[in-house]
């Protein structure tokens, strides 16, 4: 590229719940001047819309019939990512227990995945300087040609302790059970399940601090850009 500008780089970060995907992706994107996309927020947003509109979450055909209706818009500035549904800011309501407990059922519906995957690809294609996209199926399905694929892991105990610290006073065992249950649902669905891409670099974050994980990923991106 002219004037020494870096080539756009596409980074896919996948992994189970609570492994540090969002915190790491946001920090890496901010540090490298890239856009950032939280794909879990999009699945949460469509789930929020289904719940708000009284759609039966137990009925995949009812979900499929209306999957194209809500307009979901994601803001990709890592310093302040945003998410709206039909113009309403849903950043807070998509994090409620009600949405968290139902999102795996909605995200398993193929029509939902097709709709959201198309949206994700168009956002990534429009990111002029490149983008860090985090989720469950980014390296395997959404962006199989990503320049760099990372798969974050951590023990269920470490992940539950991190989440309980966030949700002040939450019981660690109940938190652990809930995240293991969600991982099992996300890993066992038929359409683009949670999985590590064959060419992804696996980073076990159990014994790493967040700054160490961020540094590790930034180094991997820089090595990739340098052609190492
Ligand atoms: N290496 C780490 N050490 C300690 N805490 C961490 C580490 N990585 C992330 N955290 C903390 O763990 C919590 C969960 O992190 P984060 O939301 O980034 O995970 P996630 O993989 O995006 O989860 P989810 O898939 O459920 O959205 C946050 O409070 C975050 O600050
Ligand atoms: N690429 C993705 C990302 C997320 N999901 C589903 O959304 C749920 C919420 O994700 P968070 O990262 O916000 O916890 C997740 O449990 C999956 O059901 C997905 O299917 N694909």
**Pocket of ligand 1, candidates 45, 210, 214: which has the most ligand atoms within 8 Å of its Cβ, to mutate?**
210
- Helix intervals (H) in the chain: 21-32, 39-52, 60-66, 97-107, 110-125, 156-166, 172-188, 210-225
Q: CB neighbours (10 Å) of residue 128?
A: 9
Report the pLDDT value the prediction gives residue 7, as an integer from 0 to 100.
78
What structural domains and CATH numbers belong to the chain?
9-222 (3.40.50.300)
Residue 70, helix vs strand vs coil: coil
The residues, any chain, with a CB within 8 Å of residue 9's CB and separated by 6 or more, are: 32, 34, 130, 147, 148, 221, 224, 225
Ligand 1 centroid to residue 65 C-alpha, Å: 34
Report the pLDDT value the prediction gives residue 171, as an integer from 0 to 100.
84
Ligand 2 centroid to residue 108 C-alpha, Å: 10
Look at the block and give the residue holding tokens 């009600």. Answer: 98
Averaged in consecutive runs of 10 residues, what is the pLDDT profile of the chain (228 residues)? 67 97 98 98 98 98 98 98 98 96 98 98 97 98 98 96 77 90 96 98 98 98 89
Q: CB neighbours (10 Å) of residue 98?
A: 12
The binding-site residues of ligand 1, defined as CB within 6 angstroms of any ligand atom, are: 15, 17-23, 40, 162-163, 166, 205, 208-210, 213
Quote the pTM value.
Answer: 0.96
* Helix axes of 39-52 and 110-125: crossing angle, nearest 10 degrees: 140
Report the pLDDT value the prediction gives residue 169, as an integer from 0 to 100.
67
* Nearest ligand 2 atom, CA 106: 18
135 marked among binding-site residues:
no
Report the pLDDT value the prediction gives residue 2, as an integer from 0 to 100.
41
Report the pLDDT value the prediction gives residue 1, as an integer from 0 to 100.
44
Report the pLDDT value the prediction gives residue 167, as an integer from 0 to 100.
66
For atom 11 of ligand 1, the residue with the nearest CA is 162
Report the pLDDT value the prediction gives residue 3, as an integer from 0 to 100.
43
Which is nearest to 147 in space by CA: 138, 155, 156? 138
ipTM associated with this complex? 0.98
Ligand 1 centroid to residue 41 C-alpha, Å: 14
């Amino acid at each position: 590229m002219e004037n020494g500008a870096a080539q756009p780089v596409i980074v896919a970060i996948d992994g189970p719940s609570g492994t540090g995907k969002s915190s790491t992706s946001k920090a890496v994107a901010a540090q490298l001047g890239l856009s950032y996309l939280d794909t879990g927020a999009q699945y949460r947003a469509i789930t929020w819309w289904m719940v708000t509109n009284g759609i039966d979450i137990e009925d995949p055909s009812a979900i499929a019939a209306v999957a194209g209706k809500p307009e979901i818009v994601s803001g990709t500035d890592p310093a302040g990512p945003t998410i709206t549904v039909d113009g309403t800011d849903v950043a807070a309501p998509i994090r409620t227990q009600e949405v968290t407990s139902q999102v795996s059922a909605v995200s398993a519906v193929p029509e939902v995945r097709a709709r959201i995957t198309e949206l994700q690809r168009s956002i990534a294609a429009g990111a002029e300087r490149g983008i860090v996209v985090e989720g469950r199926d980014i390296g395997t399905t959404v962006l199989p040609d990503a320049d760099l694929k990372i798969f974050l892991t951590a023990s269920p105990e470490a992940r539950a302790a991190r989440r309980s610290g966030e949700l002040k006073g939450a019981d660690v065992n109940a938190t652990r059970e809930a995240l293991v249950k969600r991982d099992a649902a996300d890993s066992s669905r038929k359409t683009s399940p949670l999985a590590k891409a064959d060419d992804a670099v696996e980073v076990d974050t159990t014994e790493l601090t967040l700054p160490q994980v961020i540094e590790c990923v930034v180094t991997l991106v820089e090595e990739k850009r340098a052609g190492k």
